[in-house]
Amino acid sequence: MTVDDHSIVTMTYEVRDGGPSGTLLERMDVNYPFKFMFGTGRMLPAWERRIFGLKSGMGFSFQLSPDDAYGQRSDDHILTAPIHIFQNEREQIEPGLLERGQYVTLTDSSGKDVNAKIIDWNDKQVTLDANHALAGKTLFFSGAILDVRAPSVDELIRKQYIEEGGVRR
Answer yes or no: do 141 and 104 share one domain: no
Answer yes or no: do 79 and 117 share one domain: yes
Structural domain contains residue 22: yes
One-letter amino acid identity for 138?
T
* Interatomic CA distance for residues 4 and 53, integer angstroms: 6
Distances (CA, A) of 66 to 48, 86, 106, 137: 15, 32, 24, 5
Q: How confident is the model at residue 163 (pLDDT cuts 50, 70, 90)?
A: confident
Task: Return mean pLDDT, the chain.
Answer: 91
Structural domain contains residue 163: no
Structural domain of 147: 2-70+134-158
Answer yes or no: do 65 and 148 share one domain: yes
Answer yes or no: do 44 and 100 share one domain: no
Structurally, how many domains does the chain consist of? Answer: 2
Structural domain contains residue 110: yes
Structural domain contains residue 164: no
Note the pTM of the prediction, 2 decimals: 0.82
The per-residue pLDDT for range 58-108, each reduced to its tens digit, is 999 999 999 999 999 999 999 998 988 877 655 556 655 688 999 988 888
CATH of residue 104: 2.40.10.330
User: CA 42, 45, 50 angle in degrees (round to 5)?
Assistant: 120
pLDDT of residue 131: 96
* Backbone phi, psi, residue 50, to 5°: -75, -30
Answer yes or no: do 25 and 56 share one domain: yes
Answer yes or no: do 11 and 61 share one domain: yes
The per-residue pLDDT for range 122-143, each reduced to its tens digit, is 889 999 999 999 999 999 999 9
